[in-house]
Amino acid sequence: MRFFTSYEIEQDWDFMFVEAHEVRSDDWTTLPDANDKTSTVTGDSCAEGWVEQLHPFLAHYQGADCSPAGNTGSWNAATGSSGGGKEFVVDLSGYAGKQVEVSITYASDWSTQGLGVFLDDARVLVDGSTVAETSFGSADLGGWTVAGPPPGSAGNANDWSRGQQALEECSVVVTGDTVYLGFGLECLPPAARDDLVARSLTPPHRAAPPLMAARCADGPQTVGAPSVYAGYGHRRCGELYGCRGWDLCCTPPGMSPRWSASSNGGRSVTTRR
C-alpha cells in the first residue's frame, strides 16, 4: 500500500503510523514505512504514561517498559516533520490471501499539536498493478472511513476530515523559511521591504522587535512585542489578541505559537483534497 503524506507533528510526543490486523482477529500491529520515515522509538509520551492514561490500545504495540513490542504487535511510527509531501509505503504481503484491515493513524499526547497530518492518493498494488485507490477527493473515500478513537481513548478533539483546501488563504503566510504575501510590497522602499520580510521570519522566542506595533496597538489589548505567526489560526488569534482588522497573529510575550495552534484545534488534523 502506498500513499502520500505531509505531516508536522510534535517531535517524539505525537506519532503517525499505519496499523493493520487480519479481519476478525485482534492481531493488531504497526507496519514500517519502506521509505524509512518510521522508527521503532517509542518517544517521550510512552515514558510519561500515555498508554495507561490516554491510549490503552497502544499496548498492542508498546511494552510496559516502552520497548517497541506490545501484546500483539510491534511499534513503527513517524514523528516530527516530513519535510513536505512524501510517499509512505507499507508491505502487506504478509497478509496475502487474507482479509486485512488497515488504519492510518495520528495519536497525540496530552497537549500541543503541530499543523497536523495530510494524506493523499492512497493505493493498494498487487504485483505492480493498482487494485484500489482514492485521492480522498470525493465523498466516496474508496472504503476508508473516519473510525474515531480506538477503545479506551477519549473522544477526539479533532479528527480526520476531507478538505479541498489545506490552508485558508490569507494576506501573509509565514513558514520556517518562507514568507508568502498575498499583496505586493511595491509600495515599500527596498529597505522597509527587507525589514518586513526579515522580521516576519524571526521566531517569537527571539524577542523580535515590534512588527506592525502600531496596528496591533489599535486593538482592545496592548501587545508588547508582537511577532508574526500566520498560516493557521491567524484570523481568530488576531481577534483575540488585539490585531483588530489585521490578519496577522500577534503572539503575546511568553506565549508560544503552538499554543495558538492548539487553541484553534479543529484544523490540526486534516485529510487533504
CA 127 remoteness from chain centre: 32
Task: Pick the closer one to Ca ion by CB: 54 or 223.
Answer: 54
Stretch that binds Ca ion, among 103-111, 161-169, 224-232, 258-266 (CB under 5 A): 103-111
Instruction: Give the span between the Cα atoms of 24 and 4, in whole angstroms.
Output: 28
Q: How many residues does the chain have?
A: 273
3-state helix, strand, coil in the chain (%, to 5): 20, 25, 55
Give the shortest CB-44-to-Ca ion separation in angstroms: 10
What DSSP string runs through 116-161? EEEEEEEEEEETTEEEEEE-S-SS--TT-----PPTTSPPPSS---
- 3-class secondary-structure state, position 263: helix
Q: How remote is the C-alpha of 5 from its chain's centroid? A: 10
If binding is defined by CB under 5 A, does position 246 make contact with Ca ion?
no
CB of 152 to Ca ion, least distance (A): 18
Beta strand residue intervals within 217-272, DSSP E: 271-272
Residue number closest to Ca ion, CB atom? 10
> Nearer to Ca ion by C-beta: 12 or 87?
12
* CB of 176 vs Ca ion, minimal distance in Å: 19
| Interface pick for Ca ion out of 13, 17, 28, 88 (rule CB under 5 A) | 13
Taking the least distance from each CB to Ca ion, the nearer of 114 and 238 is 114
8, 10, 19, 120: which one binds Ca ion (CB under 5 A)? 10
Q: Quick one: which of 5, 6, 29, 108 contacts Ca ion (CB under 5 A)? A: 108
From 13-21, 52-60, 117-125, 126-134, give the range in contact with Ca ion by CB under 5 A: 13-21
Contact, 235 vs 169, CB < 8 A? no
- Return d(Cα 179, Cα 238) in angstroms, integer: 18
Give the nearest distance from C-beta 76 to Ca ion in angstroms. Answer: 19
If one counts every other C-beta atom within 10 angstroms of the C-beta of residue 111, the result is: 11
DSSP letter at 267 equals G
As measured in angstroms, the least distance from the Cβ of 110 to Ca ion is: 7
Q: Does 8 bind Ca ion (CB under 5 A)?
A: no
Cross-sheet strand order for the sheet of 129-134: 86-89, 2-8, 116-126, 129-134
Interface residue with Ca ion, options 14, 19, 33, 120 (CB under 5 A): 14
120 binds Ca ion (CB under 5 A): no
Out of 19, 33, 109, 120, the residue judged to bind Ca ion by CB under 5 A: 109
Residue type, 175: T
Nearest approach, Cβ of residue 114 and Ca ion (Å): 8
CB of residue 94 vs Ca ion: minimum separation in angstroms? Answer: 31
In DSSP terms, 69 is beta-bridged to: 74
Query: Residue from 74, 112, 135, 171 that binds Ca ion (CB under 5 A)?
Result: 112
Task: List contacts with Ca ion (CB under 5 A).
Answer: 10, 13-14, 108-109, 112
